[in-house]
Amino acid sequence: MSKIPYDFSQQSTTLVHICCSVDSHHFLTQLKEKYPQKAFCGYFYNPNIHPYEEYLMRLKDVQRSCEMLGIPLIEGEYDLQEWLKGARGLEDEPEKGERCSYCFDYRLEKSAKIAQQTHCIEFTTTLLASPMKSQNELFSQGEAIAQKYQLGFLPIDVRSNGGTQIQNQLAKEANLYRQNYCGCIFALQKQREAANKISLELLSSLNTPKSSSNLPALRLKIFQTREELEKSNKPYQSIKRKILHYQLIQGLLTQEGKAIPSFICNYSILPKKTKAKIEFWDNGIGYANKEGIMFLEFEPLREYLVKDSFEQLLKEGLATHKQSDLRHKLYPYGFFTSPIIILQEAFIGNFTLEIQSHLQEEFLEDFIPSNAKNPLIFK
C-alpha cells in the first residue's frame, strides 16, 4: 500500500495525479494561477514506466519540481507487474489506442482512491497537459471515475492559446528532465523500431557499474550533477551531447573449449566469432594475430584501475571514462576499436573470442557550471 502522509479533511484540496515533471510543472503553475483559492497535492503514480531507473529519474524530477512550486507530493506504488497483467493482449495497440485508455483508467482509478483516503474533494491529472494524449477522452474518463468515488474531477485545458509552447519554455527554464518516450515498454519498443534503433533503455551493459549500466541509469547519474550544483547554489547551464553509445551485450573468451575469465573494454568491436593466436607478450600486453586484438594483464593495471582484485573488476565493472582513457593510452593516433581484453594472468597459444555489442547514437543532457575556472586543463 502507498504511504499516505497527509489528511486534508480540514481543508478543501485537489489531488493532482502527476505523470512527469515537464507536464506537471506547467500544469501546477496554471492551477495555482487560475484557482488561487484551492489547495493542491501532487500524486506521482506511474507503474507503467519501465525500466525502474527511468521511473526513478522521473520521480526525482517531479519531487524537485514540486519543491520548487511549494506543492506537497505523495509517491504511489510501483506495482509494475499488476499493470502488466492488465495490459495483456494490448501490447501491439498504437499510441492513443486501447492500451493507453487502460493505462489512463488504471492510474486515474488509483488516484481517485487516494483522493478519498486523504479526504480530497476532487482530483485531476497532468496527463491533460500532454499533446500525446486525447484531452476529450481524459475529460470523459476522469469524470466517470470521479462519480464512481463521489468526487469531483477538475477539467482544465492548459494546451490552448500557446500553452504547449509555454510548457516547453518553463521546462527549459527549470532545467527539467525531458524524457524521450511515454513510459511503457510497449510504446518504447515501437518508438525505437520506427527510428531504426534498438531499445538500449532495456539493456544493461556487462562492463560498467550498475550506476551507469543502462541509459536511464546513466541519465540519473548525470542529473546528480545538477542536484549537487543546486545544493551548492552554483549557477549552471544545461546542454545536450550527442554520443556514440556502446553497449556490451555478451562476450566469451575460450581456449580449447574452456572459458577464460576476462573483462572486455568498451568499443571492442568484433564482427563475428574469431579464432586467433597470441603472437607475443610485451610489458604486460599481449598481441594477437587477428583484428588487432590486445590482451592486458591485470596486475600492472591494478593502481590505474583502482581495483583491489581482478574479481572486483569483473563484479563492479569499470567507469566509461576510465575505459576510454585506457583505450586512448594504448593507441593515441585514432579511435581504436579493436578488442581490448583484461585478464588475470597472461596465456599463450590459440583462443576463440566472441563479442556481441551494439553502437547507437543517443542524446544525453549535461550540466556545466557557469564561470567555472579552467574546466579543462590541457597539458
Binding residues for [4Fe-4S] cluster: 19-20, 100, 103
| CA distances in angstroms from 125 to 99, 100, 137, 173, 209, listed in the order given | 18, 14, 12, 23, 36
Residue 301, amino acid: L
**CA atoms 295, 298, 304, 310: torsion sign:** positive
Q: State the Cα angle at 249 between 348 and 352, rounded to 5°.
A: 25
Q: How far apart are CA 318 and CA 323, in angstroms?
A: 7
Q: How far apart are CA 221 and CA 216, in angstroms?
A: 9
Q: How far apart are CA 141 and CA 137, in angstroms?
A: 6
**Looking up cell 518508438, which residue turns up?**
191
Strand order in the sheet with 294-297: 258-259, 236-255, 349-369, 274-282, 285-288, 294-297, 340-343, 262-264
Q: 41: Cβ–Cβ under 8 A, 6 or more apart, which residues?
A: 6, 8, 13, 14, 15, 16, 71, 72, 73, 74, 118, 120
Q: 346: Cβ–Cβ under 8 A, 6 or more apart, which residues?
A: 281, 284, 286, 295, 297
Which parts are annotated binding residues? 19-20, 100, 103
